[in-house]
Amino acid sequence: MSERELLISPEGLKKLEDELEYLKTVKRREVAERIKTAREFGDISENSEYEDAKNEQAFVEGRIQSLEKMLRQARVVNEAEMDPGRVHIGSRVRVRDLEEDLEEEYTVVGATEADPGKNRISTESPMGQALLGRKVGDTVEVKAPVGTIRFEILAIQ
C-alpha cells in the first residue's frame, strides 16, 4: 500500500518533530517511571495505577508511530516556489460570504495543522479544496451540510 503525500508548512513540520522528540525523550521516560512505581505496589493483576500507566504507554507509543508515519509522508511546501497571487498552503485568505455578506479570514494549512477554532483550515476540507489555486476576485462554492455556500476571495497574503 503506497503512502499518501502529506503537504505541510515548515512550521507544521517543526511542530511534529518537536512533539515526536518530546514523546521519545521525556514522555517515554515518565511513563516508564510510572510503570516501575506501580509495580512496587505489589500484585499487578489488580493494580489500577499499573493498568493506567500501561494504557498511557500504549497511547504514547501509538502516537510516536503515527508521528513517524506523518513525517515519512511529509512534503514541506516551499512558499518561495508558489505563485503569491494564488491560494496555497500557508496563504491567509480573506473571503466574503456572498449570501450573508460577512467577511472571514482563513489560513490554509496541511491536514495535521488544521484548527478550525483558530480559522486554520485544512487543504483537505471542502473550504480548503475550494480555495486552493484560486485568486483574488474568484468566486468559490463550498458544499456544506446547510447547502452550497458561495464566497468571493477578497485578499490573499
pLDDT tens, residue order, the chain (157 aa): 346 778 888 888 899 999 999 999 999 999 999 999 888 877 777 778 889 999 999 999 999 999 999 999 988 887 666 778 899 888 999 999 999 999 999 999 988 889 999 999 998 899 999 999 999 999 999 998 889 999 999 999 8
* Three-class secondary structure assignment of the chain: CCCCCEEECHHHHHHHHHHHHHHHHHHHHHHHHHHHHHHCCCCHHHCHHHHHHHHHHHHHHHHHHHHHHHHHHEEECCHHHCCCCECCCCCEEEEEECCCCEEEEEEEECHHHCEHHHCEEECCCHHHHHHCCCECCCEEEEEECCEEEEEEEEEEC
Domains of the chain in sequence order? 6-76 (1.10.287.180), 80-156 (3.10.50.30)
